[in-house]
């Protein structure tokens, strides 16, 4: 039995029968993924996140993934400056939800693996097996320096993350062990209880560099990567490469996810006009410049040419794959994504509260018709979500 087979047999939402999985990204941070000063009712509060989680559960979405953020990016909006810490965010939502899968996005240099493993187990047991960790190495130098740590070189970060995840896995699956690494050591490691999931919670990472993908292939169950608007062929090659690498080198299966931003309206003109409003007219270009100055180099996820050419797309939603248009056009674009072999996408919106009900009511039925998602039991649920 492979690692993913175990999750499937346990009924894990991240590995269900839907051909294309759906989640949202960044609802714990101000502005989520849109670098804009456009008006919005969205605020990163527990109350709103609970409401958003309810909309997702009623419509059958699979997961919520938060952004790990410790300070904003400046500019008039101080983009992402108002945020909730992700482990406590996941724990709070685990107590008030029943079906949605919840991740904590964890900067591995900022938290000891013993603490991460214990918190992860606690949340996994509260949620009865609906918890996973999104491991990130940290790329925003001022943020890491807040912790009194010097930013490690790119590949060194993954060497540190390797020791971190090996310790976390041992704490989840073993008892009384010693570990001695270059960066971390544990004497007589002990953790009780163990996670609800067996053998452990789901692990994901968004490494897009060669080192990041190698790390994901060995340790993670899902690898995230950006898919450029004109790069569907490259996306198909990435999916094929990840699955081949995980199996041939480590005898493991691995899933693949991307992320997208959605602007769905009754007409194409309305969708494009709103995109122009929140990006060109209300975009926080100063915050975007602050991010782009560091992100493309430190993360290894984007080339300098991409950052320059697609800056507006970056402001619209962290450079994710654009889903802009009518419900029919957006469903067609999701179908194009699915044809690359990618298993799903995290979707961001300027205003989750206002836009999610419309997406649920108008786009999800089209994805069902296209065979990308199974019909909900009790279709009336989506109508209620859209009310």
Tell me the average pLDDT across 93-112: 97
Say if residue 296's pLDDT is above 60.
no
Average pLDDT value for the chain: 92
Tell me the average pLDDT across 319-328: 96
In the chain, where are the structural domains located? 3-386
pLDDT digits (tens, 9 = 90+) for 339-382: 999 999 999 999 999 999 999 999 999 999 999 999 987 654 55
Say if residue 251's pLDDT is above 80.
yes
- Alpha carbons 322 and 232: distance in angstroms, whole number: 12
Say if residue 383's pLDDT is above 80.
no
pTM of the model: 0.93
Distance of CA 305 to the CA centre of its chain: 24
Q: Is 202 helix (H, G, I), strand (E, B) or coil?
A: strand
- Alpha carbons 90 and 68: distance in angstroms, whole number: 12
Q: What's the pLDDT score for residue 140? A: 80
Confidence of residue 35 (pLDDT cuts 50, 70, 90): very high
Q: What's the pLDDT score for residue 298? A: 43
Quickly list DSSP for 24-92: EE-TTBTTTT--B---------HHHHHHHHHHHHHHT--EEE----SS---TTTTTT-SB--HHHHHHH
Tell me the average pLDDT across 27-31: 97
Q: What's the pLDDT score for residue 292? A: 78
- Residue of 71, 196, 175, 65 lying closest to 128 (CA atoms): 196
Tell me the average pLDDT across 236-265: 97
Confidence of residue 173 (pLDDT cuts 50, 70, 90): very high
Q: Is 221 exposed, middle or buried (0-12, 13-18, 19+ CB in 10 A)?
A: buried
Confidence of residue 299 (pLDDT cuts 50, 70, 90): very low
CA angle, 313 as apex, 206 and 271 as ends, to 5°?
120
**335: Cβ–Cβ under 8 A, 6 or more apart, which residues?**
367, 370, 372
Q: What's the pLDDT score for residue 80? A: 94
Q: What's the pLDDT score for residue 2? A: 86
Confidence of residue 300 (pLDDT cuts 50, 70, 90): very low
pLDDT digits (tens, 9 = 90+) for 122-145: 999 999 999 999 999 987 888 888
Q: Is 333 helix (H, G, I), strand (E, B) or coil?
A: helix
**279: Cβ–Cβ under 8 A, 6 or more apart, which residues?**
36, 312, 315, 316
pLDDT digits (tens, 9 = 90+) for 201-235: 999 999 888 899 999 999 999 999 999 876 899 99
Confidence of residue 295 (pLDDT cuts 50, 70, 90): low
Q: Are strands 177-180 and 185-189 parallel, antiparallel or unpaired?
A: antiparallel
As beta bridge partners, residue 132 has 103, 202
CATH superfamily of 3-386: Luciferase-like domain (3.20.20.30)
């Amino acid at each position: 039995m492979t690692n993913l087979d175990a999750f499937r047999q346990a009924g894990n939402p991240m590995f269900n029968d839907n051909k294309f999985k759906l989640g949202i990204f960044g609802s714990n941070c101000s502005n989520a993924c849109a670098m804009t000063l456009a008006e919005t009712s969205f605020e990163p509060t527990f109350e709103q996140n609970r409401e958003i989680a309810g909309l997702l559960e009623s419509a059958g979405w699979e997961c919520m993934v938060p952004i790990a953020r410790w300070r904003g990016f400046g500019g008039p909006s101080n983009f992402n400056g108002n945020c909730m810490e992700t482990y406590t965010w996941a724990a709070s939502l685990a107590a008030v939800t029943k079906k949605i899968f919840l991740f904590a996005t964890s900067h591995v240099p900022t938290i000891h693996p013993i603490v991460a493993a214990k918190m992860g187990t606690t949340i996994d047991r509260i949620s009865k097996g609906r918890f996973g960790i999104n491991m990130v190495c940290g790329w925003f130098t001022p943020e890491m320096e807040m912790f009194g740590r010097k930013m490690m070189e790119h590949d060194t970060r993954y060497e540190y993350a390797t020791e971190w995840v090996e310790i976390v896995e041992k704490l989840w699956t073993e008892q009384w062990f010693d570990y001695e690494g270059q960066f971390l050591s544990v004497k007589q490691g002990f953790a009780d209880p163990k996670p609800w999931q067996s053998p452990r919670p789901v692990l994901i990472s968004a490494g897009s560099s060669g080192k990041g993908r190698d790390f994901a292939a060995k340790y993670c169950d899902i690898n995230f990567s950006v898919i450029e608007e004109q790069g569907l062929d490259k996306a198909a090659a990435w999916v094929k490469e990840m699955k081949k690498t995980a199996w041939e080198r480590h005898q493991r299966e691995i899933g693949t996810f991307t992320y997208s931003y959605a602007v769905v309206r009754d007409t194409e003109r309305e969708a494009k006009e709103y995109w122009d409003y929140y990006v060109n007219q209300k975009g926080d270009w100063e915050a975007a410049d602050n991010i782009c100055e560091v992100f493309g180099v430190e993360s290894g996820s984007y080339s300098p040419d991409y950052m320059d050419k697609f800056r507006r797309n970056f402001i619209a939603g962290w450079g994710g794959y654009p889903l802009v248009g009518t419900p029919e056009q957006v469903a067609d674009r999701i179908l194009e994504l699915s044809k690359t072999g990618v298993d799903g996408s995290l979707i961001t919106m300027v205003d989750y509260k206002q836009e999610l009900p419309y997406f649920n009511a108008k786009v999800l039925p089209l994805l069902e018709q296209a065979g990308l998602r199974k019909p909900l039991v009790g279709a009336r649920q989506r109508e209620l979500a859209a009310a």
